[in-house]
Amino acid sequence: MEHWTDSLTHQDLQTPENKAILGKFNSADDAHVGYIQLQKAAGKPYKLPDSMDKLPDDATRADLTGRMGKLMGAVENEEAMADVNFADGLPDANMVNVDLVTAFKAFAIENKLPKSTVAAMVKFSNQFSLKARQTQTEGLTANTTKVNGELGPLFGGAEGLKTNNEKVRQMFSAHAGLTAEEFKVLEPDFKDDGMRTSTPLWKGLYNLADKFGEGTTEPALGAGGNKDEIGIKQELPVTAGILGW
């Protein structure tokens, strides 16, 4: 049976490729309608499929994903993130967590994130972490204020707390058998602005430190004394007795 395209005489319509295209239409009128629809669509934005499942195969889906990634500025290596400010949202660039930056870059490359998305996520993460840090610090400060308020009436008010803080510092420095490095970890807690989170703990420390008054204990070892437990018992018998060593 003769197809309507068989009667076409123009040489450009006789090529196998063009005849195959026209052959998809049932009639010349259908071909004309198709042309009109194509002209109406010309210049309009490309419409993405409603679902990747509507694409014919995995290769087509991967190709579209790759093309869209490039169009959106997906990062392919660390160099692509060279101008991303990983300190964005932080008051000090020294607060940047180097390990987090390394992990962030690897995640962005693996998931082909656009650079704009990386920058937005960095700022959000930094601001969220900073707020969490501030909230934690505010909580510790409020708790310390509460603890100091409970200790003050028991130990002579603000001046009494300062005196007892110094006694505790001296006790740990001289009699706890800590190395210099170990003592440095604890020392900030003994200062007047140190974070005290437990009233019973510091009440006990104050009472214990008070027993190490001048003339009642051995000469201080000093921070850095690296004595084992047996040595401490032998050289500091009074200290060992008080602390129950």
Per-residue pLDDT of 21-44, as tens digits, reads: 888 888 888 777 777 777 766 666
Task: Flag whether 136 is in a domain.
Answer: no
| pTM of the model as a whole | 0.52
Residue 132, judged by CB atoms within 10 A of its CB (0-12, 13-18, 19+), counts as exposed
Structural domain total, the chain = 3
Same domain, 185 and 234: yes
Better-scored residue on pLDDT, 9 or 95:
95
The answer to whether residue 202 scores a pLDDT higher than 90 is yes
Burial 53-72 (b: 16+ CB within 10 A, else e): eeeeeeeeeeeeeeeebeee
pLDDT in tens, 130-187: 999 999 989 999 999 999 999 999 999 999 999 999 999 988 888 888 888 888 898 8
* Residue 203 belongs to domain spanning: 155-243
Angle at 32 between CA 26 and CA 35, to 5 degrees: 110
Helix %, strand %, coil % of the chain (to 5): 65, 0, 35
Task: Flag whether 141 is in a domain.
Answer: no
Q: What is the pLDDT of residue 62?
A: 73
Same domain, 173 and 232: yes
Same domain, 68 and 37: no
pLDDT band at 239 (very low <50, low <70, confident <90, very high): low
pLDDT in tens, 77-132: 999 899 999 999 999 999 998 998 999 899 999 888 898 889 999 999 999 999 99
